[in-house]
C-alpha cells in the first residue's frame, strides 16, 4: 500500500496535541514510549495486548507541519511518521521489554518501508523522551546487530521526541473496532498472532 489505506471517511483535523512535556504530566508512575514501526494500526494492535501497557494512542510525530491530517501525511511531504504513544507502568513492564516486542513484530531492516507500505511515514524509528531511553535503544540495537538475528543491518532511527499529534478518531483502536477490514485481515492480524506466539507470557490476562 503506497498511498492511504483508508479514504472512505474524511480525516478530521484535530487540534488536540500532546507535546513530550505535556505527556509527562500524566500520573507519576506512568511513563511514555513513542515508537514508529510502519502502519500504526499494526503497532497499536500489538501493544494494546501487552501486560503493563495502559493506553496506546495512534498519531503522527517527527514532521514539520502542525496538526497534520492523515491525507497530508500520506503525501510523504510532511516528514511525519505514523507512530504510537504507549503509556506504561514501569513497575510491570520495562522500556527494554517494549523494545523487544517492537523489534520482534516489525522489520527494522527496511528503510521507509514495512511490507507493501512504502514511504517515510512508515519508517522504523524510536522517538526517545530522555537520555535513558536513547541509551537503552542504542544498546538494544547494537545487541541485535551483533547477534546476527537479522540478515541485514538495522536501519531504525533514533529521533528526539517532538510534538505528538493524535491521529483522527477513526484511527484509534482501529483493529479492535474493524477486525474484518481488508488490511486488518491481510496484515494486522498476522502481527497480533506473532505477538501472541512469541510473547504469551506478556499478554494481558483478560485477553488470554
pLDDT digits (tens, 9 = 90+) for 157-189: 999 999 999 999 999 999 999 999 999 999 999
20-191: which CATH topology?
Answer: 3.30.1060
pLDDT band with cut points at 50, 70 and 90 for residue 2: very low
DSSP bridge partners of 123: none
One of 4, 39, 42, 184 is an active-site residue; which one? 39
What is the arithmetic mean of pLDDT over 122-132?
98
- Reply yes or no on whether 39 is catalytic: yes
User: Would you state the torsion angle of the CA atoms of residues 130, 132, 138, 139, taken in this order, to the nearest 10 degrees?
Assistant: -170
pLDDT of amino acid 208: 84
**Secondary structure in 3-state letters for the chain:** CCCCCCCCCCCCCCCCCECHHHHCCCCCCCEEEEEEECCHHHHHHHHCCECCEEEEEEEEECCCCCCCCHHHHHCCCCCCEEEEEEEECCCCCCHHHHHHHHHHCCCCCCCCEECCEECHHHCEEEEECCHHHHHHHHHHHHHHHHHCCCCCCCCCEEEECCCEEECCHHHCCHHHHCCCCHHHHHHHHHHHHHHHHHCHHHECHHHC
pLDDT of amino acid 48: 98
Amino acid at each position: 500500500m503506497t498511498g492511504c489505506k483508508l479514504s472512505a471517511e474524511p480525516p478530521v483535523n484535530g487540534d488536540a496535541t500532546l507535546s513530550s512535556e505535556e505527556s509527562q504530566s500524566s500520573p507519576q508512575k506512568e511513563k511514555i514510549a513513542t515508537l514508529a514501526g510502519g502502519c500504526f494500526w499494526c503497532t497499536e494492535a500489538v501493544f494494546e495486548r501487552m501486560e503493563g501497557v495502559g493506553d496506546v494512542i495512534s498519531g503522527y510525530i517527527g514532521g514539520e507541519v502542525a496538526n497534520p491530517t492523515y491525507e497530508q501525511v500520506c503525501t510523504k511531504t510532511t516528514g511525519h511518521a505514523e507512530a504510537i504513544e504507549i503509556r506504561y507502568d514501569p513497575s510491570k513492564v520495562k522500556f527494554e521489554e517494549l523494545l523487544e516486542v517492537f523489534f520482534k513484530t516489525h522489520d527494522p531492516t527496511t528503510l521507509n518501508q514495512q511490507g507493501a507500505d512504502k514511504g517515510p511515514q512508515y519508517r522504523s524509528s524510536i522517538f526517545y523522551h530522555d537520555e535513558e531511553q536513547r541509551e537503552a535503544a542504542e544498546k538494544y540495537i547494537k545487541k541485535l546487530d551483533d547477534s546476527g538475528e537479522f540478515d541485514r543491518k538495522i536501519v531504525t532511527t533514533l529521533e528526539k521526541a517532538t510534538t505528538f499529534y493524535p491521529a483522527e478518531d477513526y484511527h484509534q483502536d482501529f483493529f479492535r473496532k474493524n477486525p474484518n477490514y481488508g488490511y486488518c485481515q491481510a496484515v494486522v492480524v498476522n502481527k497480533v498472532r506473532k505477538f501472541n506466539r512469541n510473547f504469551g507470557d506478556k499478554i494481558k490476562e483478560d485477553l488470554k
